[in-house]
Amino acid sequence: MSLAAVNAKNSEVKSKPVGFLMHAAIFGYIPRSFFYANFLVSNLTSALTLEAAHLTRRFGKNTVIYDISLQLKRGEVLGLLGHNGAGKSTTMQMLTGCLAPDSGTIKICGFDLQRQPTLAKAHIGYLPETPPLYKEFCVQDYLIFAAKLRGIKANEVSSALDLALQRCGLNDKRHTLIGTLSKGYQQRVGIAQAIIHQPAVIILDEPTVGLDPAQIRDIRTLIRELGTAHSVILSTHLLGEVASICDRVEILQRGTLVYSGTTSELDKLNGVAGQLEENFIRLTEVKI
């Protein structure tokens, strides 16, 4: 799906309550000022799926993450870029509740990750750097376990399983032991466990690592498709990947956010289009 289509879908989601309220405003049931206020509130509650504010994290005396704030809307794919050790994985661990930030708040779908962890985590799908796979399980049993763990009701498990298997192209590997699968297939199972419960926020740490070109293409299409109905954050080293699937880019450099903007803005930061790589390198080198 193209960028324009995604944006169209976005505005469609927002316009529903607006349309209703507009109707009410025209007929004079409610004053106009209320209409604007309500629009802002509905925009905040319905569209924003992830809100992280002023995250800081230290390991001993090392400050790994310093004052990072992120916001993610429904139907948006955000690329997290940066050199090795810039803090991409640490940020993702904090966003999924695997690591507690030293300061700052994280809200998933309006639920505070620290105070209401169970409610917030129900809306997260996470693929860590190393897929968290139980090697002694077959693909199907592992995914059923993951689905139930994420709180899917018993009668909905099988349909969720079928959808995840089909989306990740795992239908013919259903009964294979995960330990005997190749790296690429294991990565796909990792993605399948992250999306099986249709979470509002999907967080993928280098999802296309270890895949062959055809698989990379499939997974990119899948992420694009997921990005229409869910919010996706992915970290990557591949700028081509960013250009093809991300709506927005955040660049991390030594634990701080050095750039935040849409992919097309980054692409023509100097006024010339098609300079994604040059701009990325310039942004991350200036600060060293």
CB closer to another protein, 192 vs 242? 192
Q: Does 200 bind another protein (CB under 8 A)?
A: no
Degrees to nearest 5, angle at CA 153 with 163 and 231: 55
Q: Cα(26)–Cα(29) distance, rounded to whole angstroms?
A: 8
CB closer to another protein, 32 vs 135? 135
Q: Cα(280)–Cα(286) distance, rounded to whole angstroms?
A: 10
Q: Does 151 bind another protein (CB under 8 A)?
A: yes
**Which stretches within 97-236 are classed as H helix?**
117-121, 139-149, 157-167, 183-195, 213-229
Residues 44-63 within binding reach of another protein (CB under 8 A): 59
Question: Binding another protein by CB under 8 A: which of 54, 115, 135, 287?
Answer: 135
Residue 84 in tokens: 């090795």
Q: Cα(53)–Cα(71) distance, rounded to whole angstroms?
A: 8
Per-residue binding string, another protein, 85-104, x by CB under 8 A, is: --------x--xxxxx----
Q: Cα(22)–Cα(60) distance, rounded to whole angstroms?
A: 54
Helix H or strand E encompassing 39: helix 32-42
Q: Does 128 bind another protein (CB under 8 A)?
A: yes
Q: Does 173 bind another protein (CB under 8 A)?
A: no
For residue 98, the minimal CB distance to another protein (Å) is: 4
In this structure, what are the phi and psi dihedrals at residue 73, rounded to the nearest 5 degrees?
Answer: -100, 160
Q: Cα(32)–Cα(2) distance, rounded to whole angstroms?
A: 35
Sole window of 38-46, 142-150, 224-232, 277-285 interacting with another protein (rule: CB under 8 A)? 142-150
Q: Does 130 bind another protein (CB under 8 A)?
A: yes
Q: Does 157 bind another protein (CB under 8 A)?
A: no
- The half-sphere exposure of 185 on its side-chain side, counting CA atoms within 13 A, is 18
CB closer to another protein, 24 vs 157? 157
Q: Cα(235)–Cα(203) distance, rounded to whole angstroms?
A: 9
For residue 141, the minimal CB distance to another protein (Å) is: 8
Sole window of 25-33, 128-136, 217-225, 244-252 interacting with another protein (rule: CB under 8 A)? 128-136
Q: Does 118 bind another protein (CB under 8 A)?
A: yes
Sole window of 26-34, 127-135, 236-244, 251-259 interacting with another protein (rule: CB under 8 A)? 127-135
Q: Which residue has the tokens 């316009």?
A: 15
Question: Binding another protein by CB under 8 A: which of 22, 51, 145, 243?
Answer: 145
- The answer for 231, left when phi > 0, alpha when psi is -120 to 50, beta otherwise, is beta
CB closer to another protein, 149 vs 272? 149
Q: Which residue has the tokens 């997974």?
A: 219
Q: Does 183 bind another protein (CB under 8 A)?
A: no
CB closer to another protein, 18 vs 119? 119
DSSP secondary structure letter of residue 202: E
Contact 44, 73 (CB under 8 A): no
For residue 130, the minimal CB distance to another protein (Å) is: 4
For residue 155, the minimal CB distance to another protein (Å) is: 16
Binding site for another protein (CB under 8 A): 59, 93, 96-100, 117-119, 121-122, 124, 126, 128-130, 132-137, 145-146, 148-151, 193
